[in-house]
Amino acid sequence: MLTTVIAGRVYDFSHTVGRNAAAGDGFSYPCAIAPASPGMLYVVSRGNETNYGSRLTKVFVGAPGEEKVLAEFCRYGSNPGQALWPNSVALDKQGRVYVSDDWLNRIAVFDPDGNFIEQWGTAGSGPGEFDGPAGLAFDADDQLYVVDSRNHRVQVYTADGKYVSGWGSHGRGPDQLDTPWGIHIDAHGAVYVADWKNGRVQKRDRNGQVLMQFGQAGDGPRDLNHPTGVAVDTDGDVYVTDWGNHKLRIYRADGDLITSLIGDAQWLSKWGQQSIDANPDMAKMRRRVKSLEPEWRFYYPTAVAFDAERDLIIVADCQRGRLQIYKKDRNYAVPQANL
Amino acid sequence: MAEKREPVLVVLQLSGGNDYLNTVIPYANSLYWENRPAVSIPEDQIIPIDQALGFHPSMEALKPFYDAGDVAVMHGVGYANSPRSHFRSMDIWHTCEPDTVGTEGWLGRALRDIDPNKENVVTGVSFGPSMYRAMALPGVPVACVSGDLETYGMLPGIEGQRRQKVLERFKNAYAPAIGLGAVMDYMGQTGLDSMSGADILKEAPQRYQSSVTYPDSKVARKLRGVAQVHTADLGTRIFYLDHGSFDTHASQTGEHAKLWREVSEGVGAFFTDLREHAAADNVVMLIFTEFGRRVHDNGSGTDHGAGGVAFAIGGAVQGGMYGEYPSLKAEALTQGDLMPNQDFRGVYTTLLEDWLELDAPSIVGGTFESPAFIAKA
Amino acid sequence: MVDNHDIGLMAHLMRRAGFGAPREELERRAAKGYEATVQELIHPENSEPADEYALLRYQPAALLPGGMPPMGNVNWMFHMVNTQRPLEEKMALFWHHVFATGNSKVDNYDQLLAQIGMFRQRGMGNYRDLLVASAKDPAMIYWLDNNENHKDAVNENWGRELLELFSMGQGNYTEKDVREASRAFTGWTFSVKIPRLPYGRFPWAFEYVAEDHDDGEKEFLGHTGNFNGEDIIDIVVQQPACGRFVARHLYNFFVADEPQVPSWKITPSRDEAAVDALATTFQESGYDMQAVLTTLFTSDFFKEACFTKVKSPAELVVGTLRLVGGAEIPRPDYGREIALQPTYMGQDLLNPPSVEGWHTGKEWINSGSLMSRINFVADMVGSTDLPGVRDMIRRIRAKGSLDPEAFVNSCLDLMGPLQVGTDTRQELLEQAREGGRLAWDSADETEASVARVGEMLQLIVAMREYQFN
């Protein structure tokens, strides 16, 4: 369903942006998103070794059909300003763009237009060292939280890369982590970590004290399977990409599951339509398919972001090379049920 | 008069599907501009060939060769029912088997006919990580240079003087001995052949000197390797190399231009180098790709197509245009692609019969109309 | 107590029924016992598979690789390197050799990987069910044109290969049987899938189109009836030729190199009694591959076949990687540097040269492939910082100062235990003697000894003996 009305909230599917592309108008395994004002997104494409389409795309996303690539940077490579396994992106107060490299164990910094500024980080397991830096988030004091995934911890740095503190250890216990991935910091400074292999999202205070957890691992319909991304909206609702179950989970702040979205891309994106227009055989085969429904759905959704200016929920639909965008509609008049 | 030197064929494969429309550009045809709202070459940059066609601006280094009558442009090359799959299509080009899955390469058959007694282990040399199917035929030795010619050989990880000793031990251990059995014997001989092939080829860079500077690209490094082996007079008759990827589904404009600059400048340097060594006259190069690309662009690139363009280059080539540019009219397209109107096996036939002086039908699997792009002596 | 003979036999079992094993694993398994290990291998459900989620986290493109390498190769290589179910994976490779389906035509690594997954799941189950699943496998249907096999226009490609290459072999059926079998499979096709533009690949699904199925009576191998595809397979597996055919494939893959399939009609197996024993179990167990594999691995003809087969490129590469370690998480360029190595050596996994599969045995070896094989393995074992190589060095060092002979013997032992001929041993000894005793008393000696072990391992893998399994 395109519109989900539940628990006093309305999630209305807006549109899809992107297509599978190694460069230019599209994404290649998009795995992280950072919204920027006005109407801009930075999107990390993880890419692959067939066409090396990894990169950061700065894209303007307006109303449906109004999307435009403004810059592409941080392409495949190990030189300064490049990345081998770009994982996540976050913006500091000045709008500078921070990108984690899961393989090269470093953070690269770019100006808002994608010009390379600096990089920092060394491999290792000591304080301030990385083994697989993944999710990134800034707090209100412009401190950068880095998920240090294969060290199973979160480390805090100043914006210029000085180590401040860190917490987390490897294991399944309530205050431990196993190969965490995404991270988000809410308006009150609470930290949410997608504890990937443990199948849950932890909420901690800024010092790392566990406050609560969202979801749990398991095979049940409400359980999480390798969650990857997390975001919190202006009402305190929590969004989690349930990667292995191909769902977006939405929780109340108290941890109660409100609903799950599964992807509703019933119309082609603008760039997707261009591909079809250029390939008559593809267009023909689409008309012969019994159902296009599988195309609507998320396939390994990896990241979620909330655009507070426009109340948009933006999901990086990794395997499909696109973003799916929903609006949290606050002015929805519910029609009569007996129509 | 100097002894007539054996003809040599160099095949350069453009992997991934080169965009015909933006290589030899039908700039006078309004349909080109209509179909390429995003992926066209600005008219003022096109290198005009005549009133209708022009080369991609990156092909500047090849233009003098064309003007000198050393470049044949083969239009609309392909075959019926193009599958638009890289693999299948490349296989068909490699094996000349459009209907069944073939295993024997056309050049493998040519090598067999050139050197039936396998007297020279470097009659065929390929530059790439593994054997191209075009060169493959059971029992036909082909030297596969996977990296640089300079480091080609057994156990390159062991360095310095110790390497010589280790290789001595290798040779001793592989030497014929009694009672080891057929498979061990075969492996022993193969190991020694493989080493001697490497020994022979490794000589080439040592003997080679040139004032020509090749540009810094993968294809240029491979072409320099070809020049080194060719000028060393080791009896190599067929060289194979590739470049790519030309699979420009996205951001085609910049990528395609870069690839063609690399090819053009590399090939230009290669022939200049051969001329400096007075070794150009007996070399003809074939440049081909597995298919052309879709006529209409997709907003930033182009998708898999059918009919493509091939080139033959060399002093023995009768330059000019061969065949017709396929029609761009909507009703003439096949699934949005240019309809091939020249069979690739005809192009091979010319190279085999008029250049290598081999029996073509037994190699390409039949008789095909062949463009006469090799100048008769 | 585990002795060297037990280790040698366990190493043989693990090389053949898997991709070899490091010394620590061999010792652990040998302590459990040979028969117990065979049981463990044929019951993979008790061990961990490779972690698909880890693969997709680090190589998301390995899920739907499309038509171009190397991500499909990355996917399978990851499984072969990481699985704790070695025989399950080896059987998938075995069936890939038999039901050889290639990307050159299918242009779709996703569907080829799905087929390999099906082999993983069913490869040690019932052969009849495996044949039915193969007949319904979309990659197979497309590869052998059964989607073009219609009621009013029969295409015999699948029907013929089912009999010739997947079940009985030439000489056991007539052209009429091919025709009738093909008729029985009309209407076995796949539904149209969502095309790959613009969002990547979607899976194909098997579809039976009753309207396109030839409902008429068929005569097949002496049976008459209104047969559908499954009836044909039921008749096929009952034929003695089918048991012998599967047995001979197993013998060729697991025991000793045989000539290629097309010559089986005229050339007997090098061990007819072994093939008979396997075929008998096949029939008596009702085509149960677990039973056949138990007969195979517990037989004397298997145990006595050490180092008699030329390693396939996949066996060589995976065996080396599992020995030296360090390839558990895919790294950047894993595709070209690791996953495509078998391709460079002449075994392009998921893309066999034809439906007849690869030419195996000594035909793996030519001047190009031999050099690729030697250089790749030497590069790996010469990397003395890799965990498996470090472990070998640690074990040699634990023996203290070694004279040249003991040095060579220790290295050969850890690389197999590998048996070598007199001439080879002589050259290895020459190499060892050059540096005198291997000593570890000072930092300088240790550094020199580590380098010498690395070089010795490289020379060992360059010897012909290492090319055998």
The answer to whether residue B179 is domain-embedded is: yes
Pairing of β B283-289 and β B8-14: parallel
- What is residue C4's predicted lDDT score, i.e. its pLDDT? 82
For chain B, how many structural domains are there in total? 2
Final residue before a domain boundary, out of C274, C303, C332 = C303
The answer to whether residue B39 is domain-embedded is: yes
The answer to whether residue B1 is domain-embedded is: no
The answer to whether the beta carbons of residues C42 and C293 sit under 8 Å apart is yes
The CA distance from C431 to C458, in Å, is 11
CATH number at residue B281: 3.40.720
Inter-chain touch B158–C197, beta carbons under 8 Å? no
Look at residue B5 and give its three-state secondary structure.
coil
Q: Burial-class residue C9 by CB neighbours within 10 Å (0-12, 13-18, 19+).
A: middle
The answer to whether residue B2 is domain-embedded is: no
Same-domain status, C35 and C170:
no
The answer to whether residue C416 is domain-embedded is: yes
Task: Go through C359-397 and write b for each residue having 16 or more CB atoms within 10 A of its CB, e for each that does not.
Answer: bbbbbbbbbbbbbbbbbbbbbbbbbbebebbbbbbeebb
Same-domain status, B98 and B192:
no
- Mean per-residue pLDDT of chain A: 97
Nearest chain B residue (CA) to A21: B250
Question: What's the sign of the alpha-carbon dihedral B360, B365, B369, B370?
Answer: negative
The CA distance from C329 to A178, in Å, is 16
Same-domain status, C136 and C28:
no
| Digit-coded pLDDT (tens) for B235-244 | 999 999 999 8
Quick one: average pLDDT of A10-24? Answer: 96
Inter-chain touch A269–C198, beta carbons under 8 Å? yes
pLDDT at A262 over 60: yes
| Digit-coded pLDDT (tens) for C366-407 | 888 899 999 999 999 999 999 999 999 999 999 999 999 999
Same-domain status, B256 and B296:
yes
Same-domain status, B145 and B175:
no
- What is residue B250's predicted lDDT score, i.e. its pLDDT? 82
pLDDT at A198 over 50: yes
pLDDT at C281 over 60: yes
- Residues of B in Cβ contact (< 8 Å) with C353: 101, 103, 133
- What is residue C2's predicted lDDT score, i.e. its pLDDT? 67
pLDDT at C457 over 90: yes
Q: B337 CB near a chain A CB, below 8 Å?
A: no
Q: A279 CB near a chain B CB, below 8 Å?
A: yes
- What is residue C337's predicted lDDT score, i.e. its pLDDT? 93
A300: its two tokens? 């390994």
| Digit-coded pLDDT (tens) for A86-130 | 999 999 999 999 999 999 999 999 999 999 999 999 999 999 999
In this complex, the residue of B155, B186, B303 whose CB is nearest that of residue C362 is B186
The residue type found at C181 is A
- What is residue B179's predicted lDDT score, i.e. its pLDDT? 82
C81: its two tokens? 């390197």
Inter-chain touch A278–B298, beta carbons under 8 Å? yes
Inter-chain touch A50–C53, beta carbons under 8 Å? no
Q: A63 CB near a chain B CB, below 8 Å?
A: no
| Digit-coded pLDDT (tens) for C87-101 | 999 999 999 999 999
- Residues of C in Cβ contact (< 8 Å) with B108: none
CA B48 to chain centre: 25
The residues with which A136 forms a beta bridge, in sequence order, are A146
Alpha carbon distance, N-terminus to C-terminus of chain B: 15
Q: Helix C313-324 vs helix C367-381: angle between axes, to the nearest 10 degrees?
A: 10
| Digit-coded pLDDT (tens) for A158-196 | 999 999 999 999 999 999 999 999 999 999 999 999 999
Nearest chain B residue (CA) to A26: B250
Same-domain status, B218 and B345:
yes
- The kind and range of the H/E element at B10 are strand B8-14
In this complex, the residue of C61, C195, C198 whose CB is nearest that of residue A29 is C61
The answer to whether residue C257 is domain-embedded is: yes
pLDDT at B219 over 90: yes
Selected for mutation to probe chain C from A50, A228, A296 (highest C CB count within 10 Å) is A50
Pairing of β A183-185 and β A191-195: antiparallel
The answer to whether the beta carbons of residues C185 and C232 sit under 8 Å apart is yes
Please name the residue that has the structure tokens 């761009």: B328
The CA distance from B11 to B352, in Å, is 13
Inter-chain touch B88–C107, beta carbons under 8 Å? yes
| Digit-coded pLDDT (tens) for B338-376 | 999 999 999 999 999 999 999 999 999 999 999 999 997
- What is residue C339's predicted lDDT score, i.e. its pLDDT? 97
In this complex, the residue of B249, B302, B335 whose CB is nearest that of residue A280 is B335
Distance from CA of B303 to the nearest CA of A (A): 7
The answer to whether residue B374 is domain-embedded is: no
For chain C, how many structural domains are there in total? 3
| Digit-coded pLDDT (tens) for C404-435 | 999 999 999 999 899 999 999 999 999 999 99
Q: A262 CB near a chain B CB, below 8 Å?
A: no
- What is residue A136's predicted lDDT score, i.e. its pLDDT? 98
Distance from CA of A101 to the nearest CA of B (A): 24
The answer to whether residue B373 is domain-embedded is: no
Inter-chain touch C368–B138, beta carbons under 8 Å? no
Same-domain status, C154 and C269:
yes
Quick one: what percent of chain A has pLDDT higher than 90? 97
pLDDT at B101 over 80: no
The answer to whether residue C121 is domain-embedded is: no
Inter-chain touch C370–B162, beta carbons under 8 Å? no
- Residues of B in Cβ contact (< 8 Å) with C343: 129-130
**What pLDDT band is residue B141 in, cutting at 50, 70 and 90?**
confident
The residues with which C216 forms a beta bridge, in sequence order, are none
Nearest chain C residue (CA) to A281: C195
- Residues of A in Cβ contact (< 8 Å) with B334: none
Same-domain status, B218 and B342:
yes
Its domain, for residue C211, covers 126-303
**What pLDDT band is residue A332 in, cutting at 50, 70 and 90?**
very high
The answer to whether residue B370 is domain-embedded is: no
In this complex, the residue of A46, A197, A274 whose CB is nearest that of residue C60 is A46
**What pLDDT band is residue B178 in, cutting at 50, 70 and 90?**
confident
- What is residue C263's predicted lDDT score, i.e. its pLDDT? 82
Same-domain status, C178 and C284:
yes
The answer to whether residue C106 is domain-embedded is: no
- What is residue C269's predicted lDDT score, i.e. its pLDDT? 93
Same-domain status, C271 and C138:
yes
- The kind and range of the H/E element at A316 are strand A312-317
The answer to whether the beta carbons of residues A250 and A5 sit under 8 Å apart is no
Distance from CA of C156 to the nearest CA of A (A): 26
The residue type found at A187 is A
Quick one: average pLDDT of B41-53? Answer: 96
Residues 6+ apart with CB under 8 A from A339: none
Same-domain status, B107 and B144:
yes
Selected for mutation to probe chain B from C316, C362, C371 (highest B CB count within 10 Å) is C371
Q: B302 CB near a chain A CB, below 8 Å?
A: yes
- Mean per-residue pLDDT of chain C: 95
Same-domain status, C268 and C391:
no
Quick one: average pLDDT of C136-161? Answer: 94
Same-domain status, B139 and B242:
yes
- The kind and range of the H/E element at A307 are strand A301-307
Selected for mutation to probe chain B from C366, C369, C466 (highest B CB count within 10 Å) is C366
The answer to whether residue C47 is domain-embedded is: no
Pairing of β A3-6 and β A9-17: antiparallel
- Residues of B in Cβ contact (< 8 Å) with C105: 83, 85, 87-88, 101
Same-domain status, B172 and B123:
no
The answer to whether residue B206 is domain-embedded is: no
Nearest chain C residue (CA) to B176: C423
Same-domain status, B185 and B293:
no
- The kind and range of the H/E element at A21 are none
| Digit-coded pLDDT (tens) for A39-83 | 999 999 999 988 889 999 999 999 999 999 999 999 999 999 999
Distance from CA of B299 to the nearest CA of A (A): 6
- Residues of A in Cβ contact (< 8 Å) with C60: 29, 31, 46, 48, 300, 302, 318-319
pLDDT at B2 over 60: no
Distance from CA of B230 to the nearest CA of C (A): 20
- Tell me the whole-structure pTM to 2 decimals: 0.91
Distance from CA of B272 to the nearest CA of C (A): 31
Quick one: average pLDDT of A141-167? Answer: 97
Its domain, for residue B196, covers 153-201
Residues 6+ apart with CB under 8 A from A168: A148, A152, A153, A154, A175, A176, A177, A180, A193, A208
Same-domain status, B222 and B301:
yes
Final residue before a domain boundary, out of C277, C303, C329 = C303
Inter-chain touch A51–B245, beta carbons under 8 Å? yes
pLDDT at B1 over 50: no
In this complex, the residue of A22, A280, A281 whose CB is nearest that of residue B249 is A22
Q: Burial-class residue A164 by CB neighbours within 10 Å (0-12, 13-18, 19+).
A: middle
pLDDT at B130 over 50: yes
Residue ranges of A 313-332 with Cβ closer than 8 A to chain C: 318-322
The answer to whether residue C201 is domain-embedded is: yes
- What is residue B176's predicted lDDT score, i.e. its pLDDT? 85
Quick one: average pLDDT of C252-273? Answer: 90
In this complex, the residue of B249, B297, B336 whose CB is nearest that of residue A281 is B336
Same-domain status, B179 and B310:
no
Nearest chain C residue (CA) to B175: C423
The residues with which A214 forms a beta bridge, in sequence order, are A201
| Digit-coded pLDDT (tens) for B28-37 | 999 999 999 9
The 8 Å CB, 24+ separation contacts for B154-158 are B154/B194, B154/B195, B154/B198, B154/C371, B154/C374, B154/C375, B154/C462, B155/C374, B155/C375, B155/C378, B155/C458, B155/C462, B156/C375, B157/C375, B157/C378, B157/C379, B157/C382, B157/C458, B158/C378, B158/C382, B158/C455, B158/C458
Quick one: average pLDDT of B204-221? Answer: 94
Same-domain status, B256 and B112:
yes
